[in-house]
Amino acid sequence: MSADAPLDAVRAIRDAGELATRWPEVAAILAAADVESTARAGALLAAVDHHEAHRAHPELPLVEVLLTGSGTVSPLVPRLTGELARQQIVGRVTAGDPGGYALALAEPGTADVTLCLLDASAVFDRLPQPTWTVDDVSAACDELGAQLAESARLHTAGGGALVLTTAPLWPLWADQILDLRERARLGAVWRRFNAELLELGTGAIEGVHVVDLDPIAATTGPARDPRLEIYAHVAYSDTLLGALARRVAHLVRALRGRPRKCLVLDLDGTLWGGTLAESGGAGLDMAEGFRGESHRRFQRVAAQLGSQGVLLAVCSKNDPAEVDEVLRDHPDLLVRRDDFVTVVADWAPKVDTVGQVAERIGIGSDSLVFVDDSATETGLVRLKRPEIAVIDVNAREPATHADRLLAEGWFDSAAITDEDRKRAGRYRTEGRRAEFRAGFSSLTDYLKELDTTLTLFAPGPGDVHRLAQLTQRTNQFNLTTLRMDEAAVRAALADPAVLVSPVRVGDRFGDHGVIGTAFLRRTGPRVEIDNLVMSCRVLGRGIESAWLRELLHWAAAHGATEVTADHRPTPRNGRVATLYPDHGFTALPDRGDGVHRYRHDLTTLPPAVEHLTVVSELPAPAPATAPTEEKR
Amino acid sequence: MSTTVLDTDRFLTLLRDETGLAVDAGDLDTPFDDLPGWDSVMLLKVLTAVEQATGSPAPMLEVLEARDLRGVHTAIVR
């Protein structure tokens, strides 16, 4: 038997004939597998009926990939199949004819993704025989570059993605030019050609992505084997193809799979050198010396990821107060407390605490990437939480931390928008609220410290979109589920008998924005609440109580003698069934239309909510009977 | 690892690992044309793996000229 544990496990599933039905399990096994084991497992997976796998697990994307290129591309089939499985994608990878890229790209693509593996032969096959000059190369590069640009446009017209690779220049070619100035010129010509290819992937053509092979070739063993080149027309070595397949699988994940959003960092041995509990903050390495410089580099890379929308979090076995102090005050730390969306510091095993990061900021745990130097912690997380991506770092060689963090490309994204970058700020606020809540023994204390302000304001035209959205999207805290489009909201705003009363909420951590709205109608001495909706994200703070109290107060101040309100039960708004009775309303006789009707006589208003500050910008009472104009 | 003897058992294990094909001793003398799923690119992959396993270069050209797996094995261990 081989000593390859992941492969043995996958083989056992193959022998049981269950690869298709146990695809997610295979993905979990491959999570910790190196590229070679993944390729071998991929060879087994390539033989599986992919549609059967997709039927068994419709939650996994089924992605058709066509491989083409200037050489033989079939060695990529098992590698890419395995790497896609590792990303929880069912990949159906097929190889086109060797050297058949020109034809394959000349028509709109039919696969979800076409991967075109270029190599230098694409240019050198165009040169005159038997001898050539740098000018010949330059002309061939121009011709091929134009052809590829044209093909890229054509091929992606059908909506599929095209992934092109660049083509590195090997010494085999450069060294044939003996004039060193000409050899330099060949290098320049070649890089211009590759630069043009890369330009195609900068968004110039929708759906085109370009993978630069130079950095991959620079970090993987020999990038070519002349025997493979000649005997099989395989342009690249196995190690290069393995690294490429891993990268491309991340690219496909970015296009079709689940995005990874949050980088969860261990502290001791990972973010900094040393052990906080032993040496205290002053004894940690993160500035100078062998260890210090290593961790400094790692911190810079983490900060760099954070600046592009990756949410940074901490999961550490440490005293929370000590951690907090270092994160806030350590002079050398490059990613500080405010850069983290949340900090989990606890003595429990990480496998039990890492998930808290996701819970606190309200994302799925399958969005997490966890980095730790303890093989025990990472091993347990891999075993028990297979949905979490795990990166092992070696505290004995911290110089390799940054490379390990980046090696996989877990956060690679087809495009990052300003909205993505801003998202970090929102999650940070959410994480801080959750941490803050965890620090209070009683809910009342928490709410008091949260310092929430509720503002009832008079809406203007700029609020119409948001108010319509609230009536349409709110399901749980929606009393009558009266859905309104923008025109209906505008009509309500223009109706002098109607009071539209939206509310805005803020607290010490930030602004929640406009989170609810009420529609009230005045008929003689009666005020009718047509509808009341509130976003669920601010539930549990008594906001609805303070709001209702303010509305009743407003009605009384305007000379009303009663307020009536409806609750139309739906399968999803059960939580507001007792809202009106809880606030001093009495039930009116049922009219048999399924709507519960309530009345408040305005003699006793509900008590004020102590931990909330209420600001009312509702119009002051107007002279009796005159309709009120709600516009500011 | 320095030079290691690659007996047919280890050779077959390596083949299975690299190609995913379920080959056993009974397939050693089957002509490649009759070996289901076989292609010459697989052979090259096997060779690079053999080189890693034995620590010495494999005679790729001779191996490519072999007609069956036993021929490949003979070329490698010669």
Q: Is A40 in contact with B40 (Cβ distance < 8 A)? A: no
Which residue segments constitute the domains of chain B, with CATH numbers given? Answer: 8-77 (1.10.1200)
Four-CA torsion A522, A526, A530, A533, nearest 10 degrees: 100
Token pair 């549609």 in the structure block, residue: A51
Q: Is B17 in contact with A74 (Cβ distance < 8 A)? A: no
Q: Is A2 in contact with B17 (Cβ distance < 8 A)? A: yes
Rounded CA-CA distance A67/A235 in Å is 14
Q: State percent of chain A over pLDDT 70.
A: 96
pLDDT digits (tens, 9 = 90+) for A221-260: 899 989 889 988 999 998 999 999 999 999 999 888 778 9
Which positions in chain B have a beta carbon within 8 angstroms of at least one beta carbon in chain A?
A: 13, 17-20, 37, 39-41, 44-45, 48, 60-61, 64
Closest chain B CA to residue A224? B48
Candidates B13, B37, B41; nearest CB to A234: B41
Sheet holding A161-165, edge to edge: A90-95, A62-69, A113-117, A161-165, A208-211
Q: State percent of chain B over pLDDT 90.
A: 12
In one-letter notation, the amino acid at residue B70 is: R
The domain covering A448-616 belongs, at the CATH homologous superfamily level, to Gcn5-related N-acetyltransferase (GNAT) (3.40.630.30)
Q: Would the CA dihedral through B62, B68, B72, B75 be positive or negative? A: negative
**What region, left, alpha or beta, does residue A198 occupy, with left being phi > 0 and alpha being psi -120 to 50 degrees?**
alpha
Query: pLDDT band for position A1 (50/70/90)?
Result: very low
pLDDT digits (tens, 9 = 90+) for A525-581: 999 999 999 976 677 788 999 999 999 999 999 899 999 999 998 877 887 889 999
User: How many alpha carbons lie under 13 Å from residue A171 in its C-beta half-sphere?
Assistant: 5
**pLDDT of res. A556:** 92
A341 vs B: CB within 8 A: no
Structure tokens at A388: 């979490």
Closest chain B CA to residue A36? B18
Most B CBs within 10 Å, among A14, A238, A239, A240, to test the B interface: A238
The CATH architecture to which A59-256 belongs is 3-Layer(aba) Sandwich (3.40)
Shortest alpha-carbon distance between residue A47 and chain B (Å): 9
CATH class of A262-432: alpha beta
Would you call the peptide bond into A130 cis, given omega within 30 degrees of 0 as the criterion? yes
A1 vs B: CB within 8 A: yes
pLDDT digits (tens, 9 = 90+) for A368-390: 999 999 998 998 999 899 999 99
pLDDT digits (tens, 9 = 90+) for A161-208: 999 999 999 999 999 999 999 999 999 999 999 999 999 999 889 899
pLDDT digits (tens, 9 = 90+) for A96-135: 998 999 999 999 999 999 999 999 999 999 999 999 999 9
Shortest alpha-carbon distance between residue A39 and chain B (Å): 8
For A385, the 3-state DSSP assignment is: coil
Q: Is B17 in contact with A7 (Cβ distance < 8 A)? A: yes
User: Which residues have CB under 8 Å from A563's CB, separation 6+?
Assistant: A526, A527, A528, A529, A551, A552, A555, A585, A599, A600, A602
Rounded CA-CA distance A292/A598 in Å is 68
Q: Is B60 in contact with A227 (Cβ distance < 8 A)? A: yes
Q: Is B39 in contact with A234 (Cβ distance < 8 A)? A: no
Candidates B20, B48, B64; nearest CB to A238: B48
In one-letter notation, the amino acid at residue A613 is: T
**pLDDT of res. A372:** 97
Whether the per-residue pLDDT at A352 is higher than 60: the answer is: yes
Contact A162, A153 (CB under 8 A): no
Structure tokens at A617: 């910008």
Q: Is A225 in contact with B48 (Cβ distance < 8 A)? A: yes
Domain boundaries, chain A: 59-256, 262-432, 448-616
Candidates A43, A231, A237; nearest CB to B60: A231
Contact A114, A155 (CB under 8 A): yes
Whether the per-residue pLDDT at A334 is higher than 90: the answer is: yes
Q: Which residues of chain A make contact with B22, given a CB cutoff of 8 A?
A: none
Q: Which residues of chain B make contact with A237, given a CB cutoff of 8 A?
A: 48
Shortest alpha-carbon distance between residue A144 and chain B (Å): 27
The closest of A422, A341, A411, A354 to A387, measured between CA atoms, is A354
Closest chain B CA to residue A222? B48
Q: Which residues of chain B make contact with A75, given a CB cutoff of 8 A?
A: 41, 44-45
Of A365-369, A429-433, A451-455, which range is least confident?
A429-433
Four-CA torsion A388, A394, A398, A404, nearest 10 degrees: -40
Whether the per-residue pLDDT at A25 is higher than 70: the answer is: yes
Most A CBs within 10 Å, among B41, B46, B50, to test the A interface: B41
Shortest alpha-carbon distance between residue A81 and chain B (Å): 13
Q: Which residues of chain B make contact with A228, given a CB cutoff of 8 A?
A: 44, 48
For residue A581, report the phi and psi dihedrals to the nearest 5 degrees: -55, -35
Q: Is B44 in contact with A4 (Cβ distance < 8 A)? A: no
- Answer yes or no: same fold for A262-432 and A448-616: no
**pLDDT of res. A278:** 87
Q: Is B64 in contact with A237 (Cβ distance < 8 A)? A: no
Contact A277, A322 (CB under 8 A): yes
Q: Is B45 in contact with A47 (Cβ distance < 8 A)? A: no
User: Which residues have CB under 8 Å from A191's CB, separation 6+?
Assistant: none
Rounded CA-CA distance A461/A468 in Å is 12
Q: Is A231 in contact with B45 (Cβ distance < 8 A)? A: no
Candidates B17, B48, B64; nearest CB to A4: B17
Closest chain B CA to residue A227? B60
Contact A547, A454 (CB under 8 A): yes
Most B CBs within 10 Å, among A228, A230, A239, A240, to test the B interface: A228
Most B CBs within 10 Å, among A8, A40, A77, A93, to test the B interface: A40
Give helix A76-86 / helix A23-30 axis angle, nearest 10°.
100
Shortest alpha-carbon distance between residue B59 and chain A (Å): 10
Whether the per-residue pLDDT at B43 is higher than 90: the answer is: no
pTM of this prediction exceeds 0.90 = no
Rounded CA-CA distance A585/A595 in Å is 15
The complex scores an ipTM of 0.77
Q: Which residues of chain B make contact with A46, given a CB cutoff of 8 A?
A: 20
Q: Is B44 in contact with A232 (Cβ distance < 8 A)? A: yes
Containing A341, the helix (H) or strand (E) segment is strand A340-345
Rounded CA-CA distance A464/A55 in Å is 44
User: How many alpha carbons lie under 13 Å from residue A117 in its C-beta half-sphere?
Assistant: 27
